[in-house]
Structures are given as C-alpha cells and as structure tokens.
C-alpha cells in the first residue's frame, strides 16, 4: 500500500513494516457531508485519509465550530485520541466523497511501542499543531478579520492551489469569525483584485501580492 508510504505519520518505516500495518488496516467510505466521527465519541481507531478531503473541527458546547485541519491523502485525522482513547470535542466531516483507512487502537499502540519512529513522527505533527493553535490565538488577539482571512486563503492556496472549493461558512470556521464578516472581507479583497469568488469557490488572482500582505501562514 503506497498510501502508507505517503503518510506523514509513517515516514521512515521500511516496506516490511508498512506491510505489517497494511495487514491490520481496513478502509471505509463516506459521502460528501457525512460525519467521519462525532464529538464526544470515544476513539477506537487511528485513521488517515485515503481519498478526498476531510474537515476536522473543534466544537464548543454552545455549538460554535472552529476548523483546524483540512486533511488530505495520507494525513491523520486524530492523533491524540488513539493514545488516550478518551473522547474529545472534535468532529470530522467529509468535504467530498472520501475513503478513510483505519487501524484499531490496540494494534496501533502495540505497533507504535515496537517502532518508536512512529511516535517521533506523532510528536512532530503534534508540535506543529500546538504551534499553529498558538499562532492562531495570537492572530485572534491582534489581527483583524481581513488579515486572518488573507492568511487562511494563502495557506489553502499553498496546499491546494487554485481554485479553492470552499464556501464562505467554511472559511469563517477556519478564520474564527462569522460568515457575514468573511463575505464583507472578501468583497474588499475582490475590489483589490486579489481574488475572485463564485458560489462555493474562491480563485486566487495574485498569490505574490497576497503573500506580501499576509506574511506567515498557518498550518491546515
């Protein structure tokens, strides 16, 4: 399975070891809009995306959602859950028709114990996640909505190219604001000829200028 070879979580493993994982894995399909898992559900498996895109969000009791990862091929959906097993307030939703590869939690833990390089990879990814979350906290404090949207767009552009197939609500969940504010900010960027947007789709017209305005990027 050369999906595993692509996966950041299994980087550095030999083909033999990858084969061992492949033998334990099973895959499942989800249709666009379906939930891959729900908040408050105990975690029973380690999962990576095989095909399509999955949106991973943290949910507050009051119903607000904040997306912190758009996972594509090879990216893991929940790194902490498989280790702790505890339920967490995160949800994962298929943005397209999606295939997800999973490994049961006990098998995964045993494997990780025998091959520490997996855990080293996990630490590296979690480190990125911590840094990214902290960077977003600072942005929430000192950056205005338009700046945050710029950062989101640039980050998405770097990862997925153009055009970006996201609705304004999805961008709002990424930027930590409301749909209306995103729409207003997009109006501004459109007038500056930085982007063009249609229903459910944003086109980056001037990546260079976008970059010069926005500076650092997030990690999505």
Partner DNA sequence: CGGCTATTTGATGGTAGTCAAGTACCGTGG
Partner DNA sequence: CCACGGTACTTGACTACCATCAAATAGCCG
Task: List interacting residues with a second copy (CB under 8 A).
Answer: 58, 60, 62, 64, 66, 68, 79-80, 83-84, 88, 112-113, 116, 119-120, 122-124, 126-127, 129-131, 133-138, 140-142, 176-177
Q: Which is nearer to a second copy, 16 or 86 (by Cβ)?
A: 86
Is 186 one of the binding residues for DNA (CB under 7 A)? yes
157 binds, among DNA, a second copy, none (CB under 5 to 8 A by kind): none
Binding DNA by CB under 7 A: which of 75, 93, 146, 173? 146
Helices (H), 85-219: 105-114, 116-142, 145-160, 168-175, 179-191, 207-214
Tokens of 116: 């520490």
Q: What is the largest CA-CA distance in the chain?
A: 56
- β-strands 35-37, 90-94 pairing: antiparallel
Of 143, 211, 127, the closest CA to residue 176 belongs to 143
136 binds, among DNA, a second copy, none (CB under 5 to 8 A by kind): a second copy
Give the Cα separation of 10 and 154 in Å (integer): 27
Q: Which is nearer to DNA, 78 or 181 (by Cβ)?
A: 181
Of 96, 95, 28, 92, the closest CA to residue 65 belongs to 92
181: left (phi over 0), alpha (psi -120 to 50) or beta: alpha
Give the Cα separation of 219 and 172 in Å (integer): 16
Q: Which is nearer to DNA, 64 or 123 (by Cβ)?
A: 64
110 binds, among DNA, a second copy, none (CB under 5 to 8 A by kind): none
Phi, psi (deg, nearest 5) at residue 64: -70, 140
Q: Which is nearer to DNA, 124 or 140 (by Cβ)?
A: 140
Tokens of 65: 């959602």
Binding DNA by CB under 7 A: which of 184, 192, 207, 219? 184
Binding DNA by CB under 7 A: which of 61, 86, 116, 198? 198
Is 106 one of the binding residues for DNA (CB under 7 A)? no
Is 102 one of the binding residues for DNA (CB under 7 A)? no
Is 34 one of the binding residues for DNA (CB under 7 A)? no
Provide the binding-site residues for DNA, judged by CB under 7 A: 144-146, 167-169, 177-181, 183-184, 186-187, 197-200
């Amino acid at each position: 399975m050369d999906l595993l070879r692509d996966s950041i979580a299994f980087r550095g493993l030999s083909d033999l070891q990858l084969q061992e994982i492949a033998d334990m894995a099973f895959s499942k399909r989800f249709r666009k809009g379906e939930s891959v898992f729900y908040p408050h559900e105990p975690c029973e498996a380690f999962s990576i995306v095989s095909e399509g895109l999955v949106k991973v969000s943290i949910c507050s009791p009051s119903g607000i959602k904040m997306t912190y990862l758009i996972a594509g091929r090879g990216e893991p959906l929940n790194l902490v859950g498989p280790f702790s097993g505890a339920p967490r307030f995160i949800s994962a939703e298929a943005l397209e028709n999606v295939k997800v590869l999973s490994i049961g939690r006990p098998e995964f833990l045993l494997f990780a114990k025998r091959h520490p390089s997996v855990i080293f990879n996990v630490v590296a990814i979690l480190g990125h996640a911590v840094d990214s979350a902290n960077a977003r906290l600072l942005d929430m404090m000192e950056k205005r909505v338009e700046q945050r949207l710029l950062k989101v767009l640039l980050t998405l552009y770097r990862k997925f190219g153009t055009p970006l197939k996201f609705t304004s609500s999805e961008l709002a969940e990424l930027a930590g604001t409301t749909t209306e504010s995103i729409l207003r900010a997009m109006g501004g960027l459109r007038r500056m000829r930085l982007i063009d947007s249609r229903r459910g789709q944003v086109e980056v017209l001037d990546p260079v200028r976008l970059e010069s305005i926005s500076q650092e990027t997030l990690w999505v």
